[in-house]
Chains A and B, each alone.
Chain A
Amino acid sequence: MDQTVKLGSLTLANPIITASGTFGYGLEFMRYGDLSKLGGLCLKGISLAPRTGNPMPRIAETPCGMLNAIGLQNVGVEKFLTEKLPYIPADATLIANLYAQTPEDFGELAAIFAHEDKIAALEVNISCPNVREGGVQFGQDPHMAAGVVSAVKKRAGAKPVIVKLSPNVTDVRVIARAAVDAGADMLSLINTLSGMAVDIRTRKSRLANVVGGLSGPAIKPVALRMVHQVVQAVNVPVIGMGGIVSAEDVLEFILVGAHAVQVGTYNFMRPDNAFRLVDEVQTLAESLGIGSWDEYRGTLKV
């Protein structure tokens, strides 16, 4: 089976994308696999200025999941372009993940990446639960989401724009429609679910930030439901994510209508998991007699 999948003007060799914040800049994983084997890599969120991130502890393990409150620590766009991007192999499909605190700064970032040949697409992070300004506040208000998306679209040139949605909303379809109406070429969902874990003895939160974002298999049913809803509400490609740890999980998201998927926490469980998943999905799809993704996508019987 040819796993190629087309998301508008973005063509991926297969539907497996590594999720932002779980795969560094790709460089960290080069000893574990060939980056060009992946459908794509969403790079660690990048802001205009460097960010130091949140104090420790930043992560906590929970049943079938984990919480994180990293706070978008990153080297800033300038250092990224000079110290990271040149070292990422040119045959990898790279998606830059953008974070800013104002629509103007989002636009500025988009304009910078619009000229980078090695960047195939932009993913706009309006859903980070772990930063005080920007982040999820854009993702919870349809007007603010639209403002960010149109600011990015105006300056993104020919780069396809993916908008990453938060599950921490009453109705994800409202934000999804607002993002698409403002020009989003595709949507990705879900970012982490807001959560917390506490220690009854020290009487402290297990995270210095007190609350964090829950990821891992624990959130997969929520993610599937939201992807299912959004696919029916919009007419752009949707990238599904949330708790994928197997080839079966990948097919579940495609069955409910996703064009591609992102794997996140799974990369922590074993650093070559994403590479192995590409082969495992191939084997599984062929064993089910699936001839192409177009034929299987969104065929859930309801």
Chain B
Amino acid sequence: MIDSQTPCRDLEVLSCRPGSDPSLVNLILSAPGWACRPGQFVMLRPAQWGAELIWPRPFSVCDVSEDGLRILFQTVGRGTRRLAELVPGQKVTVWGPLGRWFRIDESRPNLILAGGVGIAPFVMLARRERRDNLSMLFGHRLDLQHYPYDEIAASIPSEAMQQKTPADIAAFETVLSDRIRALAGKGQVLACGPEPMLKVVRKYCLEHGTDGQISLENRMACGVGACLGCVAKTSQGDYVQSCVHGPVFDVRDIELGA
């Protein structure tokens, strides 16, 4: 069942554990009863938040199955720090799956460009039946073992580059440019990661004429298209909700801020 008309569900926390680095948290909720596509997201709001934290928080689905809904997130602010304190048995209100997903080009190579916790939506993708047209380049700051890199690398050709210094970042940017250029007219890239990386990916896709899709991570209040808080600027200069028109966009369709 894909993109079904699912209502809100109160799911139970099965586990909530920091990874080997405490800033990365693996949250497993009870099975939501729906399936989704890579790049789609859910809104999460723990029942015990009361009214102090108003908004739910949006997260890419890392994986979903009968065993549960898996979310990988990084603690960056008040909301994610509170989410990291969840304990098994607590209830979290979940609505989704939401938004547009990564469209795989079945006839050509698809190169995944993942940055940091932006690797999350590709875990599900690496489990799909047909994988011979997929590969991944992963940029990361923390050591590799903190990310679910091996899960993906076990199924599809993958390489990783660590960035600890500005020189590392410059080197990664060069490789990104080379890989994106190599796919011009031959394939496409699928990118999820921090905004500076997405800007670089978009720039080289446009420069080299390579097809590309990027997943935006805008602040959201509702996740369903109503609040107009999460908008992205289109190449026509309009604003569209990234929750319903995205979060995955074609690089040609949107602008990214300076």
Contact = CB atoms under 8 A, between A and B. Distances in A.
Interface of A: 21-24, 28-29, 31-33, 44, 52-53, 56-61, 63-66, 68, 70, 73, 216-217, 245, 265, 267-272
21 contacts: A21-B228, A22-B227, A28-B224, A31-B7, A32-B7, A32-B8, A52-B237, A53-B228, A56-B239, A58-B228, A59-B221, A59-B229, A59-B230, A64-B52, A267-B226, A268-B56, A269-B51, A269-B54, A269-B55, A270-B45, A271-B224
Given A59-B219, A64-B54, A272 B238 contact: no
Given A32-B8, A271-B222, A59 B51 contact: no
Contacts of A73: 228, 231, 239
A21 B229 CA distance: 11
B54 A53 contact: no
Contacts, number: 101
B56 A31 contact: no
Nearest to A22: B226
Contacts of A53: 228, 231, 239
Contact of B221 (A28, A32, A63, A268): A268
B52 A31 contact: no
B107 interface: no
Given A31-B5, A269-B55, A56 B218 contact: yes
Contacts of B221: 59, 66, 68, 268
Interface of B: 5-8, 45, 51-56, 78-79, 93, 95, 218-219, 221-231, 233, 237-239, 244, 257
Contacts of A63: 52
In the A-B complex, the 9 residue pairs with the closest CB atoms: A59-B229, A24-B226, A268-B221, A217-B51, A268-B222, A28-B225, A31-B5, A28-B224, A70-B228
Contact of B54 (A23, A57, A70, A265): A265
A57 B237 contact: no
B257 A56 contact: yes
A59 to B, nearest CB: 4
A269 B224 CA distance: 11
